[in-house]
A and B are shown apart, each in its own frame.
Chain A
Amino acid sequence: MKTMHARKLAELSLMTGVALMIFIIELQLPNLSPVPGVKLGLANIITVCAVYRYSMRETLLIVAARILLGSIFSGQAVTLLYSAAGSALCLTGMMLLRRLIPLKHIWICSVLGAVCHNVGQILTAIAVTRTPGLIAYLPILLVSGCVAGAFTGFCAQFVLGRSALWRRRRGSHF
């Protein structure tokens, strides 16, 4: 077990806190569409930033804590499974793409991550309800994933460009 610097721990906690706040605020906004699963997923701005700024293990910690606490705070424990499956696929995809896509094209990584997320959710929904017909939602979720992913990706790009916290080199010791 690697030890974690207090500063790094505080940083990761801050990121989790910000992501949680965004998540809870987004829940209060009216739904953009009656189709379940179609939403902006603004909390993923933090996920995309974390993928590019922290190690895989640290990103996983932020996302896992956000999903778990988010489902408790929002009282929607049933959606935990879907979020977890979607995020697992999304993170795997983005971690692989991180090597290929440089920081200035971060939106591409975000779009593909969002699409992976939606595919993960629809597969879980099919497995849980045992209704293969739900695959018909996929085209709609592909479009929504592309739009939402591009939006969160550009937001992440602005955040990464502006925050003083990010300007340190990844992996440097404090």
Chain B
Amino acid sequence: MCRSINAVGVCAAICIALFIIGIAGTIFALRPQAERIVEILQDGTVIYRFDLETIQETMTVEIADGDFTNIAEVRRDGVRMLSANCPDQTCVQMGTLRYRALPIVCLPHHLTIRFAETGNASSGEIDAITE
């Protein structure tokens, strides 16, 4: 009996610890974001890279792969997924990219829109295809 009470106590403590770690991590993840370089990745490879400072007017980027089509909108004040021809529309509903920790992800089409890693932009590897 004593052993089962201990097990319950330990499990309850783990629950509370997970919750507190989660809250702390969330606060850390949602801190204000100063990065201005945005990348669009497909299957983990960068296919587009934009410096939002240099964007003068709103532009749209179409990413097509087989039956999949996503249209991203790139503006000076942010990037968002304008449309996607997948059924779940999660990436569209996520709205404008705000935080480094919360990339816009289109799971069906294996696309990710995120802020570039700090310091990565100066490495000189420009594999962005900007049309």
Contacts and interface: CB of A to CB of B under 8 A. Distances in A.
Contacts of B105: 36, 125, 129, 131, 134
Interface in B1-42: 4, 7-8, 11-12, 14-15, 18-19, 21-26, 28-29, 41
Contacts of B101: 136-137
Contact of B19 (A128, A130, A142): A142
B107 A100 contact: no
Q: Is the interface of A mostly helix, strand, loop or mixed?
A: helix
B110 A143 contact: no
Contacts, number: 110
Interface string A81-116: 010000000000000010011100100110110010
A78 B107 contact: yes
A86 B15 CA distance: 18
Contacts of A102: 4, 8
B29 A140 contact: yes
A137 to B, nearest CB: 7
A24 to B, nearest CB: 15
Contact of A137 (B12, B18, B102): B102
Contacts of B78: none
B66 interface: no
Contacts of B95: 34
Given A75-B87, A134-B103, A143 B19 contact: yes
Interface residues of B, number: 38
Contact of A129 (B12, B19, B94, B112): B112
A129 B114 CA distance: 13
Interface in A113-131: 115, 125, 128-131
Nearest to A147: B19
Contacts of A150: 15
Given A36-B94, A129-B105, A130-B43, A136 B87 contact: no
B77 interface: no
A128 B22 contact: no
B8 A100 contact: yes
A163 interface: no
A101 B105 CA distance: 37
Contacts of A140: 22, 25-26, 29, 102
Given A129-B112, A137-B101, 4 more contacts: A78-B108, A105-B12, A112-B15, A139-B29
Interface of B: 4, 7-8, 11-12, 14-15, 18-19, 21-26, 28-29, 41, 43-44, 86-88, 90, 93-95, 100-103, 105, 107-108, 110-112, 114
